[in-house]
Amino acid sequence: MNYPTLNKLEAFTKLQGLCVLAVVLAAGCDTAEPPAFRLNMVEAVVRETPPEYSQEISDVLGAMFGTPDQPYALAETGLDQAKLDMAAGPAWSDKKGTNFGLYRKHCVHCHGVTGDGRGPTARFLNPYPRDYRPAVYKFKSTLNAARPTDADLHRVLMNGVPGTAMPSFSLLPGSEVEALVEYVKYLSIRGQMESALHMVVYELEEEEVVDENGEPRRDEAGEPLLQRTPLNPATYPEQREEILSYLEELMEGWNTANEQIIVPAEDQIPGDDRLPEEVLASAEAGRKLFYGKADCKKCHGPTALGDGQQTDYDNWNKVHHEFLVEIGRKSESIVKRVGDGELDKAAEQQLINDRVELARWQGVAATLYKPRNAIPRNLRQGIYRGGRRRIDIFHRVFTGIAGTPMPGSGPASPGAKGTLTEAQMWNLVDYVLSLPYEPPSQPLKALPVNVDEVL
Residues that bind other proteins (CB under 8 A): 13-14, 16-18, 20-21, 24-25, 28-29, 31-33, 35, 38, 68, 90-93, 95, 97, 99, 101, 104-106, 108-109, 113, 118-126, 159-172, 372, 378, 381-383
Task: Indicate the helix (H) or strand (E) that contains 308.
Answer: none
Smallest gap from residue 422 Cβ to other proteins (A): 29
Q: Which of 412, 437, 417, 454 is nearest to 290 (CA)?
A: 454
Of 93 and 450, CB closest to other proteins = 93
Of 25 and 75, CB closest to other proteins = 25
Residue type, 171: L
* H helix intervals, 256-400: 276-291, 297-300, 315-339, 345-365, 390-399
The rounded distance, in Å, linking the Cα atoms of 431 and 453 is: 19
Q: Does residue 296 contact residue 376 with C-beta atoms inside 8 Å?
A: no
Smallest gap from residue 100 Cβ to other proteins (A): 9
Smallest gap from residue 181 Cβ to other proteins (A): 15
Indicate the SS3 state at residue 216: strand
Of 91 and 234, CB closest to other proteins = 91
Q: Which of 217, 287, 271, 214 is nearest to 438 (CA)?
A: 287
Smallest gap from residue 168 Cβ to other proteins (A): 5
Residue type, 304: A
Of 67 and 331, CB closest to other proteins = 67
Smallest gap from residue 17 Cβ to other proteins (A): 2
C-alpha dihedral sign at 328, 330, 336, 341 = negative
* Phi–psi pair at 125, nearest 5 degrees: -95, 155
Smallest gap from residue 35 Cβ to other proteins (A): 3
Smallest gap from residue 38 Cβ to other proteins (A): 7
Q: Does residue 343 contact residue 351 with C-beta atoms inside 8 Å?
A: yes
Strands 207-208 and 99-100: unpaired
The verdict on whether omega for the bond into residue 233 sits within 30 degrees of 0, i.e. cis, is no
